[in-house]
Structure 1
Amino acid sequence: MMTFTSQILMLLLLLLSSIIFNKGVSTCNEKDQRTLLIFKKGIIDHFGRLSTWSSEEDCCAWKGVQCDNNTGRVTKLDLSPPYEEKQYNSLEGEINFVFLELEFLNYVDLRENEFDMIRIQPIHYNVTYASKLRYLDLSWNAYDIHIDNIHRVSELSSLKYLNLNGVDLHKETDWLQVFSMFPSLLELYLKDCNLNYISPSLKYMNITSLETLDLSLNNFNFELPKGLFNLTKDISYLDFSSSKIHGELPLSLSNLVNLTYLDLSYNQLKGSIPSWIGQLGNLQHVDFSYNMFLGSIPSTIGNLSSLVSLYIGSNFFSGVISEKTFSKLLNLKDLDLSNSTFASHFDPKWNPPFQLNRLSLANTKQISNFPSWIYTQKSLQVLDLSNVGISSKDGNKFLSFAGGISNLRLSNNSISGDISNVTLNSSYIAIDRNKFTGELPHISPKAELIDLSYNSFSGSIPRDWDNMKYLIDINLWSNRLAGEALIHLSNLKRLRVINLGKNQFSGMIPINLPQKLQVIILRDNQFEGNIPAQVFNLSSLFHLDLAHNNLSGSIPQSVYNMTPMIIGTINYIAGFRLNLFTKGEEYEFESYILRQTIDLSANNLYGEIPLELFRLIQVQTINLSHNNLSGTIPEMIKGMKNLESLDLSNNKFSGEIPQSMTFLTFLSFLNLSYNDFIGRIPVGTQLQSFDASSYNGNRELCGAPLKKCVIEEDPTRTNPSMENEDDDSLRESLYLGLGVGFAAGFWGICGLLFLVSKWRHMFLDRMTDKLYVTLMAKKNCSHKT
């Protein structure tokens, strides 16, 4: 009988032998390892992702490599970066198709790196050309990556999944025929491949196995070929969005009876939506938005009982929509009817059969009150009723219902009421351009974007706003708010945009503003004190507007570190419109239209402009007008070649306008009026293109477009000092002319003498004789004395 200790030892021996046995079986095949090392040679690996790829290590243990446990043959190659690393951990170099010599390889994923070349070598005669490869993903590498010979890829006869998104295929005119040669292909992704042609000989193609086809973001610029949809009936996913296709929907599209996903958005399709759309009973997602469709929505669309998402906004639809249109859509979750001219006739008592997650009726202008059926939608996460003409006075009731919706947009209506007791638990809140009154509503700490602009809110920013740690963008423009707002916002570390303009906020600008700030707009308030030097060290800042406040002191002399204004790097992307002032006027820009701006106008600033400001060479707008600033404009302003608008008016600047300003070729607005500039306006196309108002109020400034300078108007003026200066100039000119004449005559004669041999000898002989006689006479005279 075995003892307990013996049993333990036996188990350990069995476990150890199992480990050794398995390790021996899974050892990487030597030929596969050599092939992978050849593949690695073309890769540039800055971050050491392939540090384990060494001939001294078993290739089955290499990062991104997977082998069969029994044979040790490589079956999978996955070098796609993890999501959290893809921004900074990409591989570069070439994709060498030598990996196809791995005979048992069935999966290759090289997506989302920075490979800029694909090299397909001739395959050796004794290789089965990766006949087992089922999955190949080369998508989203370097923007100019391309395949020179796509026909070689078509030899992958077992391929079921092929993703070439972002690979440039613009040279391929028979691409569809090539891809139809894959007998087993189920999914084909050719998004953003710069495709611009479909062969007319579609009848010779065979893509009957295909289930997914993505051709979005291409440059087709033609009507959909009618024969394209006769090639397969098994396709379930079809995406032609943003591909510049036009014309009407072809009848052959109705053959795709298994279609579940259809996206034709952002094209130039026209005509009406045909009634046969109701025959595609398996449709779950339909997106016809941003086209040129006309007419009414066909009633047959209500037969699509499997429909989950319906996006038909941003067309030219008309007619009436009512509950009958949607009464059978039991599974509907997303509905977009925005930017249309429907007449809405919903029964006030209608209770829809669906529960929506997303609803957009924006810019339909057909609603005078909140549609009562919306109150039944308890699952809403996104609600957009912007610019629909709602004039309800019961904003409190509706916001109490909608306060939990994560993305709430009610912009540009006429909703009124005091909503100070309402709590908004949304992360995206846009209730701007309404008639809300009273104090600001309570807002959840999870809020990320808040736009309450163009209302009549009063009071101050609530103390609990200190807790909004996720806040990125806040817009309170044009209300009646007061108090020291920046105290409550300065500790919000994620904040990128502060727009508090046109209120009555007061206090000083704190030195500890959030470091990620990209836009600061404090215009038209009552802020006071100095501008902290720390403002000019916000490394992401590209728009600074502190105009029309009570700020004093000088502009800080610190080293400016605003990277976007120095090298032009800007990462700001957000969803709100911004009120920007440039070229002497107010503009309203979409927030993704970026302008590098410094506006410190209408304050009490004094002193000279720091030279650091003129090193911000990417700035487009500078406005320092209506202050007490002094000093001169330095020559180094010529480096600000992106400058479009410069306003230094109503200050105490002096000296001459530097000639270097003629290098500012983008300058389209200039105001130097009411300063102490002197001298002539530099001559150049740019500075003479402005009218006199740009220079008025500088008494000693002259030249076009102002009056001519005095010396040009009347050179004979009797001013004594001028006369003396003229006499001196004339005398200097006369002496200079005589000197030049004498020199010219002297060297002219000397030249002739030295050039003509006979004259030279005669002249030199005579001069020698004369000189000899003169010297002898002087010598005799000296002896006599």
Structure 2
Amino acid sequence: MLQDDTSPISTVNSNKSLVVLDLSWNRLSSVPMWIFDLHGLVSLDLSLNHLEGPIPDYFGNMSFLKVVDLGWNSLNSSVPNSLYSLNHLQFLGLTENNFQGEISNAIGNLSSLNHLDLSENQLQGKVPASLGDLCKLKEMDLSYNRIDQDISEILQSLSKCSLESLELLSMADNQLSGHLTHKLGQFKNLASLVLARNNISGPIPLSIGELSSLKVFDVSENQLNGTLSPNFGKLANLETLDIGQNQLNGVVSETHFSNLTKLSMLSASGNMLRFEPNSNWIPPFHCEIIQLSHWHLGPKFPHWLKFQKKLIALDLSHAGIADDVPTWFLNLSTQFQILNLSSNQLTGGIPYLKVGNMVDLSSNRFSGPLPRLLSNQFSNQLPVRFYSLSKNLFSGSLFEFVCNSSVPSIFVLHIDTNLLSGEIPDCWNRWKELGILNLGNNNLTGRIPSSLGGTRLRMLNLRNNSMFGELPSTLQNCMGLVILDLSENYFSGRIPAWIGDKLSILMVLSLRSNNFVGHIPHQICALQSLQILDLGHNDISGAIPKCLRNLTAMAIKEKQSEIYYNWISYKYNMNIHGILMSASLVLKGREDLYSTTLGLVTSIDLSANSFTGQIPKEVGTLIGLLSLNLSGNILTGNIPDIIGNMELMESLDLSMNRLHGGIPSSFTNLNFLNHFNVSYNNLTGQIPTATQLQSFDNSSFMGNHLCGPPVSKSCSTEGVPTDATKNGESSGRSKVNGFYVSTVVGFVMGFWGVVAPLFFIRSWRHAYYGKLEHIGNKVYVFWATKCI
């Protein structure tokens, strides 16, 4: 294995006739300069090294080069101009190098080029019109760049010279716009067209049916609209059809598939298409992957699936199916890796599905007790990896399913949002590979079984059940836990210290709405990955720990966009590389499900407890915190001025405490606040002006002695002068004067309002003492009859 420039020049001198040089998969950090002395070199492969740019621009001395492959390096520069002078070059591979700038118009000089790969760079601007001069071009891959151009202009340029030669055109993941024109049908030898994830709109042209050589057609995740052309039925060589996540509508007929005998992947989810074939229709294809989510396929279960014997992945979610799962479907295949029948109206009991790796039957209307879904006859099949029965009407006990020895190993088990009842059985010792367990939103009771501690849990969700008791110490063995959600139950006792000691990578801890007591253990502060801490609505007391400043994931502004863990590998290239974590969070007084954005959320909720003392100023060091809720406690003292440094704060609730002083002027820095509440405290003084605070309703400030917008009370000089920058403290003289004035006024009003009329008006005096005598008589009668 070569490293840098260590190869002796004598070796080069003795190989004057060297024509092929392959230095791929080495550890070169720079291009050896002796390479450029090999003037007769025909093929140069420097791919998959650690080359850093800019690369020497000496390729002009190597005029015989036909193959140049510099892919998968870190050249971080513009494409060397000397490459464009190699008029014998046939293969140019520059993928994944972070090349920048525009593609030079000089690329038209590469008259012999048939393979051009500039994918996965940072190229921008437009494709030069000189690409139309490459008459021998067969494959062009410009995907994963920043090219911003009308797709019709690109097709117009390529149609000048390469109509007969072009076989592959890939420009996925750019910023292409415009419409696909009728010129598309002129590329007679085009076998692969990939334009996914752009901004292309308009209909798919009728000329698509003229691409008789087409094998791959992928225009997914664009803005295509209109109906699906029936000319697709002419594409006898088509193997992959991906039109998913567009705005296509209308009716799809059998004609659309009439000659697609080689079709192996039909991916068209996320459109508004209706498919109503005859009940006796037999499709000409035998697909491995069918994804038709959000199509209208019902109300009957699609009978044509009976003839699909090779299915690996099937997605019929949101398809308007209101039917029983037919028996023939249950015996269809033993090769399923992904099965998604969610969000339909499937009826009857859950069938015995022969699955390999994933089952998703969520959002249906299944009824009846939870059955044995996997029996002994499937024990020799691939182990189930994903199993979801979410959002149904399953009822009864979990015992038969969990404790059934014939159920193979499961990685992910979702049976949330059903009508399950009874206790969670203590049979988890055999579920060694269990990583995600979601039983939330059911009617489960009893304690958490200790055998769950023998699994490899990454997420445990028992949210919104009727479970009780203390947390079992065996859960501390699940040291890989990322999400622990036990909220909305009746769990009691103290929060265990082992949560902080053992669950070191915990990112979400929600014990909300339970009966926990005692103090927050200081070990919780050791959870440096913690982003969500929700202990609201318990009976936790004591001071808020100052050590919360050690929650470093909340003290940084940069956050990860997604929470994944990559502990499972997948087969069949299903493009699934990890498990997306999700959690229900209560933010801004509303509960929402967070999944793809979960890693962007940071929150502390200690509301509705019995915390005392002051708000620790150390909380203000958590500058990455987006939501802080300390409402409904017995907190005293001033609002720490340092909270104004938490510039990313979107939600702040300090209501229903005993805080005093003013609202700190530093709150002018909280420009992202969209939820704010300090009501029902003892705050005084003027609300800081020219800030986000003026955008909130008066209800956010009521129950205090605040003045200025947005409250109706004005801050006049006749009242008690306060200084908001000094937390609302007024001068000593003002306090004394105010005390004496109020005392005198109170005495005068009390005397002249009550005592004076009794003294001067006889009738009032008689009525007053008569009333007192009547009350005394009633008290005596009550005492005499009840107490003697």
TM above 0.5, one fold? yes
Does structure 2 retain, via aligned residues, the 8 Å contact 1:383–1:408? Answer: no
How far did 1:428 drift?
3.9
Matches of 2:106 and 2:423, distance apart in 1: 63
Does structure 2 retain, via aligned residues, the 8 Å contact 1:322–1:347? Answer: no
Aligned with 1:316 (options 247, 250, 253): 247
Structure 1 counterpart of 2:456: none
Aligned with 1:228 (options 147, 150, 158): 158
Could you say if the C-alpha distance between residues 228 and 560 of structure 1 is closer, same or farther in structure 2, counting changes exceeding 3 Å?
same
1:579 aligns with 2:525: no
- The alignment partner of 1:674 has SS state of coil
- The alignment partner of 1:100 has SS state of helix
Aligned with 1:196 (options 104, 116, 125): 125
Post-superposition Cα deviations, 1:258-281, rounded to whole Å, max 9, x if no partner, equal 333221223343444344434434
1:136 aligns with 2:122: no
Could you say if the C-alpha distance between residues 325 and 720 of structure 1 is closer, same or farther in structure 2, counting changes exceeding 3 Å?
closer
Matches of 2:431 and 2:228, distance apart in 1: 44
How far did 1:694 drift?
1.8
Structure 1 counterpart of 2:275: 344
1:163 aligns with 2:128: no
Matches of 1:316 and 1:661, distance apart in 2: 45
Aligned with 2:369 (options 399, 414, 418): 418
Structure 2 counterpart of 1:614: 620
Structure 1 counterpart of 2:763: none
Structure 2 counterpart of 1:516: 505
Structure 2 counterpart of 1:241: 172
How far did 1:467 drift?
6.2
Could you say if the C-alpha distance between residues 369 and 243 of structure 1 is closer, same or farther in structure 2, counting changes exceeding 3 Å?
same
Could you say if the C-alpha distance between residues 122 and 299 of structure 1 is closer, same or farther in structure 2, counting changes exceeding 3 Å?
closer
Does structure 2 retain, via aligned residues, the 8 Å contact 1:503–1:524? Answer: yes
Structure 2 counterpart of 1:438: 396
Could you say if the C-alpha distance between residues 414 and 524 of structure 1 is closer, same or farther in structure 2, counting changes exceeding 3 Å?
farther
Structure 1 counterpart of 2:783: none
Structure 2 counterpart of 1:457: 420
Q: Which runs of 5+ in 1 are unaligned?
A: 1-48, 82-90, 728-785
What amino acid sits opposite 1:568 in the alignment? Answer: K
Could you say if the C-alpha distance between residues 177 and 417 of structure 1 is closer, same or farther in structure 2, counting changes exceeding 3 Å?
farther
Post-superposition Cα deviations, 1:123-171, rounded to whole Å, max 9, x if no partner, equal 69xxx527456241244637xx221653545427345241244534434
1:670 aligns with 2:676: yes
Matches of 1:600 and 1:114, distance apart in 2: 52
What amino acid sits opposite 1:335 in the alignment? Answer: L
Aligned with 1:76 (options 9, 22, 29): 22
Does structure 1 retain, via aligned residues, the 8 Å contact 2:228–2:248? Answer: yes
Post-superposition Cα deviations, 1:94-113, rounded to whole Å, max 9, x if no partner, equal 76877434555834335585
Aligned with 2:557 (options 557, 562, 568): 568
How far did 1:570 drift?
3.3
Structure 1 counterpart of 2:230: 299
Matches of 1:140 and 1:435, distance apart in 2: 53
Post-superposition Cα deviations, 1:662-716, rounded to whole Å, max 9, x if no partner, equal 3323223211122333455445523444333222223x5555444345854379x
Post-superposition Cα deviations, 1:27-65, rounded to whole Å, max 9, x if no partner, equal xxxxxxxxxxxxxxxxxxxxxx98x6575x86999xxxx
1:497 aligns with 2:483: yes
Matches of 2:113 and 2:553, distance apart in 1: 51
Does structure 2 retain, via aligned residues, the 8 Å contact 1:690–1:705? Answer: yes
Does structure 1 retain, via aligned residues, the 8 Å contact 2:536–2:606? Answer: yes
- The alignment partner of 2:683 has SS state of strand
Identity %: 30
Matches of 2:445 and 2:26, distance apart in 1: 52
Does structure 2 retain, via aligned residues, the 8 Å contact 1:635–1:660? Answer: yes
Does structure 2 retain, via aligned residues, the 8 Å contact 1:445–1:467? Answer: no
Could you say if the C-alpha distance between residues 327 and 583 of structure 1 is closer, same or farther in structure 2, counting changes exceeding 3 Å?
same
Matches of 2:33 and 2:669, distance apart in 1: 52
What amino acid sits opposite 1:582 in the alignment? Answer: L
What amino acid sits opposite 2:357 in the alignment? Answer: S
Does structure 1 retain, via aligned residues, the 8 Å contact 2:350–2:366? Answer: no
- The alignment partner of 2:547 has SS state of coil
Aligned positions, number: 651
Q: How does 1:617-766 map to 2 (within 5 A)?
A: 617-683=623-689, 685-698=691-704, 700-706=705-711, 707-708=713-714, 712-713=718-719, 722=734
Does structure 2 retain, via aligned residues, the 8 Å contact 1:381–1:406? Answer: no
Does structure 2 retain, via aligned residues, the 8 Å contact 1:483–1:504? Answer: no
Q: Answer with 1 or 2: which has the greater Rg.
A: 1
How far did 1:367 drift?
2.8
Structure 1 counterpart of 2:46: 109
1:120 aligns with 2:49: no
What amino acid sits opposite 1:108 in the alignment? Answer: D
Matches of 2:686 and 2:622, distance apart in 1: 27
Q: Which runs of 5+ in 2 are unaligned?
A: 326-345, 376-382, 453-459, 461-474, 565-579, 722-730, 740-788
State TM-score, norm by structure 1: 0.71
Does structure 1 retain, via aligned residues, the 8 Å contact 2:544–2:615? Answer: yes
Matches of 1:526 and 1:379, distance apart in 2: 53
Which deviates more, 334-343 or 518-527?
518-527
- The alignment partner of 1:660 has SS state of helix
Which deviates more, 464-473 or 273-282?
464-473
Does structure 2 retain, via aligned residues, the 8 Å contact 1:74–1:102? Answer: no
Aligned with 2:355 (options 385, 404, 414): 404
Does structure 2 retain, via aligned residues, the 8 Å contact 1:307–1:329? Answer: yes
1:210 aligns with 2:134: no
What amino acid sits opposite 1:141 in the alignment? Answer: S
Matches of 1:159 and 1:537, distance apart in 2: 59
Matches of 1:640 and 1:238, distance apart in 2: 49
What amino acid sits opposite 1:134 in the alignment? Answer: V
Structure 1 counterpart of 2:443: 480
Could you say if the C-alpha distance between residues 153 and 470 of structure 1 is closer, same or farther in structure 2, counting changes exceeding 3 Å?
farther
Does structure 1 retain, via aligned residues, the 8 Å contact 2:415–2:439? Answer: yes
Post-superposition Cα deviations, 1:491-539, rounded to whole Å, max 9, x if no partner, equal 4444433445556666765424643332334444555655444433222
Structure 2 counterpart of 1:765: none
Structure 2 counterpart of 1:592: 597
What amino acid sits opposite 1:581 in the alignment? Answer: V
Could you say if the C-alpha distance between residues 313 and 689 of structure 1 is closer, same or farther in structure 2, counting changes exceeding 3 Å?
closer
Aligned with 1:546 (options 513, 516, 535): 535
Q: Over aligned residue pairs, what C-alpha RMSD do you find? A: 4.4
Matches of 2:169 and 2:409, distance apart in 1: 37
Does structure 1 retain, via aligned residues, the 8 Å contact 2:348–2:367? Answer: no
- The alignment partner of 1:262 has SS state of strand
1:259 aligns with 2:195: no
